[in-house]
A and B are shown apart, each in its own frame.
Chain A
Amino acid sequence: MNIKEFIGGCGIIAVGSFFLYASLTSNLPIFMAANIPGPMFFPVILSSLLIILGFTSLLQTAKNMKEMGKELPRIKIRYLTLHNHIKYPSIFLILSGIYIYSFPTIGCILSTFLYSVILQRIFGRKWRDAVLISLGIIVIIYILFIRVLRVVFPEPIIGDIIYLYYFSPLLLLKWGI
């Protein structure tokens, strides 16, 4: 498909140019003393190769420019007809981004609960089921991660309550149980 080739080519040219620009303008050397490759040696080579590959993709599409013109409207129609195939994935991605953003600000437990409930509602689950399942997920995280693995998550609202009164399995072992 040519339109993909075109967008992909542009994308990697952009990425490659960004890295090439950043590596050439940074004050880190490409070569050290005695021509030994320096810290920017590999980035410069890799980003240049990426740009070259990007241009080969563009050349490929340029060859059949006409076909691409035909392809464009067809793709538009296809995407419009498959509305859900764009809608749900984008909702999923946007909500997930908000979830990660809210992870440190409202805490792991709350944000996980909200995310899970909201996503399930949007995907067509009943309120009751969504809340119950989300509670289940939280309990699993609490037991497996917070209690057993002792991971410390940010919890600005619930606070340290969940970490306090610790039932420390390590101490139990130490006391010989």
Chain B
Amino acid sequence: MKNNEKKIFVFLTVTVVSLMLLSSFSGCVSQEAQPQQPEYPTKPITLICPWAAGGGTDRTSRMIATLLEQELGVPVNVINKVGGGGTIGHSAAATASPDGYTIGVITFELSTFKHLGVADVSYEDFEPICQYNFDPAAVIVRADAPWNSLQELLDYIKAHPGELKASGTARGGVWDLARIGLLNAAGIPPDALPWIPSTGAAPALQELIAGGIDVTTCSLPEAGPLIDAGKVKALAVMAPERNPAYPDVPTLREAGIDWDGMGAWRGLAAPKGTPDYVIETIASAMEKIVQSDEWKDFMEKNGFGMEWKGPEEFAKFLENDYQVVGELIKSAGYA
């Protein structure tokens, strides 16, 4: 019995000591291996997706990973870092080592974190690579609702402030800000159409058809099946141009609102300090990808809006988006 105990003690000590040695050893390794040569890429790339596996962002990132694998000739692994309304994944991508082997998918929510005070991460922590998607918001009401145009709805809201309720995302999420922007452009105070937070567009649409809320400001493809089913109708799309899949839905300007609208975007970005040759390599690979039939077919079938912005253009866009979102959040009183 005693002998046995001794053995165990020896084992435990050996384990602890060897673990300590190994971990200090591993520290040395990672310090030594700093990329000097601009030969890129030579090892697997990790693509961090800040949203759950199977969701819209995840689907696009897995498609990108597959196509990038072909372009670059190294494995591209998608890993989902989910939670905290996207803060976890964006922070993980921003704080990753800027060696070019970790890049992140970034989404609209990145522009909101600092303004809402939930996380200290913004576009300034990234080197933008490209934007590959844009989905404008839309104004959606129940099919049996008495309003047949955006103007009628806005007039009703003006006359009965606080009576109608809207939903679509979390508080301060993209569709919430679209609502605020729309009301601002129409000269109506944001609290005339209060926001009921939801965990996404699908639960909000369920709530809409159940009669719990009156307006949803999610994107058109998200509401597509319900429009087909005759359960809801779209009054306007918050974009400069109509959506070819829904040619009957007027834009904001056509509906008499002087605003270009807004929506959710997705893009790729590397951590701040990533060398330029990495950004260029991935951006040019992505440029080829977005022109391929495979990509176009995938985006169309999924109802994702296609949009392309290269590194410089995307950087400018991000800066502008950050300002616009900041003003909207302030006008809603969230900040």
| A156 touching B43, Cβ below 8 Å | no
Give bound CA distance, A112 to B265, whole Å: 40
CB contacts (< 8 Å) of A110 on chain B: these are: 22
Give bound CA distance, A167 to B22, whole Å: 30
| B66 touching A174, Cβ below 8 Å | yes
Contacts known (A102-B23, A106-B22, A168-B75); A156 close to B29, Cβ less than 8 A: yes
Which A residue sits closest to B66, measured CB to CB? A170
Which B residue sits closest to A105, measured CB to CB? B23
Give bound CA distance, A91 to B8, whole Å: 9
| B15 touching A163, Cβ below 8 Å | no
Q: Flag whether B19 is at the interface (Cβ < 8 A).
A: yes
For residue B162, give the distance in angstroms from its CB to the closest CB of chain A: 11
Which A residue sits closest to B26, measured CB to CB? A156
| Residues of B1-47 contacting chain A, CB below 8 A | 7-8, 11-12, 15-16, 18-19, 22-23, 25-26, 29-30, 43-44, 46
| A150 touching B19, Cβ below 8 Å | no
Determine which of B8, B26, B43, B66 lies in contact with A106 in the assembled complex, contact meaning CB atoms within 8 Å: B26
Give bound CA distance, A156 to B31, whole Å: 11
Give bound CA distance, A117 to B311, whole Å: 50
Q: Flag whether A171 is at the interface (Cβ < 8 A).
A: yes
Which A residue sits closest to B33, measured CB to CB? A159
| A157 touching B79, Cβ below 8 Å | no
Q: Flag whether A98 is at the interface (Cβ < 8 A).
A: yes
| A118 touching B23, Cβ below 8 Å | no
| B75 touching A166, Cβ below 8 Å | yes
For residue A29, give the distance in angstroms from its CB to the closest CB of chain B: 14
Give bound CA distance, A7 to B15, whole Å: 33
Give bound CA distance, A171 to B77, whole Å: 13
Determine which of B11, B26, B44 lies in contact with A118 in the assembled complex, contact meaning CB atoms within 8 Å: B11
Give bound CA distance, A91 to B11, whole Å: 11
| B8 touching A122, Cβ below 8 Å | yes
List residues of chain A with CB under 8 Å of any chain B CB: 91, 94-95, 98, 101-102, 105-107, 110, 114, 118, 121-122, 150-152, 156-157, 159-160, 163-164, 166, 168, 170-171, 174
With contacts A106-B19, A121-B11, A163-B44 known, what are 14 further pairs, Cβ within 8 A? Answer: A94-B12, A95-B12, A98-B16, A101-B19, A102-B23, A106-B22, A110-B22, A118-B11, A122-B11, A156-B26, A157-B22, A164-B75, A166-B44, A166-B74
